[in-house]
A and B are shown apart, each in its own frame.
Chain A
Amino acid sequence: MYNPNMASQAGPQGPPPLNPQQGPFGNAFYGAGSEFIKTGLGAYGEKFLGSSSEFMQSNISRYFSNPQYYFQVNDQYVRNKLRVVLFPFIHRGHWTRITEPVGGRLSYKPPIYDINAPDLYIPVMAFATYVILAGFSLGFIGKFSPEALNYQLTRGLLGWFVQVALLKSLLYSMGGGEAALLDIVAYGGYLFTGLSLGIVVSMFWSLSYYVLVPWLSICMGVFLVKTMQRVLLTEMRSHERHSSRQHYMLLFMGIAQIPLFLWLGSV
């Protein structure tokens, strides 16, 4: 939803890309260009995609990896991933993403094959669930109106953005800034799963929210810490591993989840 134009253009890309950073993204563009035209928005599609496609291809692929990669999910993956996100202590096994050498470069396996790979389906669905649940809880209080719902949507988007900014800044400060942006967006969006759960429970018993918030934020913190550790490990140089500064940053990231949860959860 944050990137609908992009995503709809990358629609018909089927099998996992050779390289998530470049190359097939251009194919997705051209392939999607014809599909875009078919849907009747052809005139605009031609204008925006056809003439400036090289420019967009070179610049966008620098910032966005192929979004199709993040939607290769199935039911089983979603269930397991939800369990990992909500109860990260239970996860037995390593947290590293499986890599496979494809076309001379190491790339990660898509989410179907790898439980540790980030996906965008869960964050987007969790965000939509959060908005609708916020609407319901507003209705129970009696303050529901469509404008209030739009306001909640904006708040949620802002919270997502804050989370992503926090993660990205932490990574930059520790030298791991080359991680893909959509990866960070995915990691940032997982917080909405815990948030939705908290809102559902708080609809039945309003005080339970304050009991759940520490639990949920700690869970999210642990999840993020473990994930970021892996990201940093892959990105950073060897002599900077296991520094205490790194540990303090990760701890800060985990603690910062609490105010974020409190702010977003108070509808």
Chain B
Amino acid sequence: MEARDERRSHGDLARLQPHFAPKQKPITNFFCYNLCWAETHNFSQVPSARNCNINETSILETILTIFSLFPHSRSQNSQVTIPRRPDQPSPDRQMSRDFNAPPVVFPSGGGATAANQRRPPSSAMAPQFQPPRPANSVSGASNPALPFMSFDMSAAAASTSTAPPPSLFSSSTIPTSSFEDEPPLLEELGINTRQIWRKTVSILNPIRVNSNLHEDGDLSGPFIFLMAFGLFQLLAGKFHFGIILGWVTVAAMFLYFVFNMLLGRNGNLDLYRCFSLVGYCMLPMVMFSAISLFVPRGGFVMFGLGLFFVLWSTRVCTRLLAEIASCGDEHRGLVAYACWLVFCLFSLLVIF
């Protein structure tokens, strides 16, 4: 009895394939096999065509024919192990018979490249990442058919490589001579990471303020701080990125307005430096929002910490403003109060 069941189950499995004979593809069989396996929900029972819900197979077939419209190349790493009948041809040869991928044709190829294209396409994928030969503008001319390529297309290279590098790597837009002359990306963007680090460290000291570093404004440091602030708020469950951006803008404009009105012609604060200063002085607020994740909400500890960090921010901001924008002594209290208001606003976000 058991032997007969076994044979029947085997035969049933095998009968899966002829059932879907018209569009016989390994991937189809793979899906159907898994579907039937899932359908039965009973792993002790070997799935068979009879156990499967046959009504859904037609829908499945339609879906899979749609999938089959996309050309799929059989990769060498496919782990589809489908039991197949011994007399069936191997999937490899079946695949190559069904799916003859057209050879990749390059528009302008010499004889060597044309010969390369005749090879089976499966081997075209292997040597993709050829290290570029030392860029030699003369080498581009050595292969007049491909002047835009910066790689050395010598004959030796062609013989070892089975295919020309795909056109993705042909740097048709970058002139060969100035690629090394281009400045590094951060320098081009104006982000001086050393300076940002030094400025950040200088803010951490609430007693002594080094104002030379902050003479030139810089928006990348503030950007990092604001992102960190938003991230810590997110960890606390509050999604405040847009609000932080808007409030920083409004606060910096408010400070700029008050400062320039108070000092008139004596002060030289421009909006860019004001933004930069407010952004850098947000560092204590970022630390406060990080610490507040571990402090119980609404307690006295929270308010005490808030007061401490707001005072820190205010002190640093006032000192920097006083030294950079040449604020007089008679206006220091007035400017300090404006700074205090700005940082109180952000502490509101953290505390509540």
Contact = CB atoms under 8 A, between A and B. Distances in A.
Interface of A: 1, 4, 7-8, 10-14, 35, 38-41, 67-68, 71-75, 78, 120-121, 124-125, 128-129, 132, 135-136, 138-139, 144, 146, 149
A137 to B, nearest CB: 11
A131 to B, nearest CB: 8
Contacts of A14: 264-266
8 A-B pairs with the lowest CB-CB distances in the bound complex, closest first: A14-B265, A139-B352, A144-B352, A71-B261, A11-B260, A39-B270, A74-B330, A14-B264
Contact of A8 (B257, B265, B330): B257
Interface stretch (B76-84, B177-185, B204-212, B331-339): B331-339
A85 B266 CA distance: 29
19 contacts: A4-B257, A11-B260, A12-B260, A12-B264, A13-B265, A14-B265, A14-B266, A38-B270, A39-B271, A40-B270, A41-B271, A67-B261, A73-B334, A125-B338, A128-B254, A132-B345, A135-B348, A139-B348, A146-B349
Contacts of A120: 261
B272 A75 contact: no
A124 B271 contact: no
By secondary structure, the B interface counts as helix
Max count, chain B CB within 10 A of own CB: residue among A35, A41, A71, A125: A71
A143 B261 CA distance: 35
Nearest to A120: B261
Contacts of B333: 75, 78
Contact of A121 (B254, B262, B266): B262
B345 to A, nearest CB: 6
Contacts of B271: 39-41
Interface of B: 240, 243, 247, 253-254, 256-258, 260-262, 264-266, 270-272, 330-331, 333-334, 337-338, 341, 344-345, 348-349, 351-352
B348 A1 contact: no
Contacts of A7: 257, 260-261
A40 B344 contact: no
B260 A8 contact: yes
B260 A128 contact: no
Contact of B256 (A8, A13, A129, A149): A8
A36 to B, nearest CB: 10
Contacts of B262: 71, 73, 121
A152 to B, nearest CB: 11
Nearest to A79: B333
A153 to B, nearest CB: 10
Given A8-B257, A73-B262, A144-B348, A125 B337 contact: yes
A164 B345 CA distance: 27
B277 to A, nearest CB: 14
B243 A146 contact: yes
B266 A132 contact: no
A124 B256 CA distance: 13
B257 A132 contact: no
A258 to B, nearest CB: 27
Contacts of B270: 35, 38-40
B337 to A, nearest CB: 6
Contacts of B260: 7-8, 11-12
B261 A78 contact: no
A41 B274 CA distance: 14
Nearest to A135: B348
A11 B264 contact: yes
Nearest to A122: B334
A135 B253 CA distance: 20
Given A125-B337, A129-B341, 20 more contacts: A1-B254, A12-B260, A12-B265, A13-B264, A14-B264, A35-B270, A38-B270, A39-B271, A40-B270, A40-B271, A72-B264, A73-B334, A75-B331, A121-B261, A121-B262, A128-B338, A132-B341, A132-B348, A136-B348, A146-B240
Contact of A125 (B243, B256, B341, B344): B341
Nearest to A138: B352
Nearest to A38: B270
Contacts of B272: 39-40
B276 to A, nearest CB: 13
A75 B334 CA distance: 7
Max count, chain A CB within 10 A of own CB: residue among B264, B345, B349: B264
A146 B337 CA distance: 22
A262 B58 CA distance: 74
Contact of B258 (A10, A12, A124, A139): A124
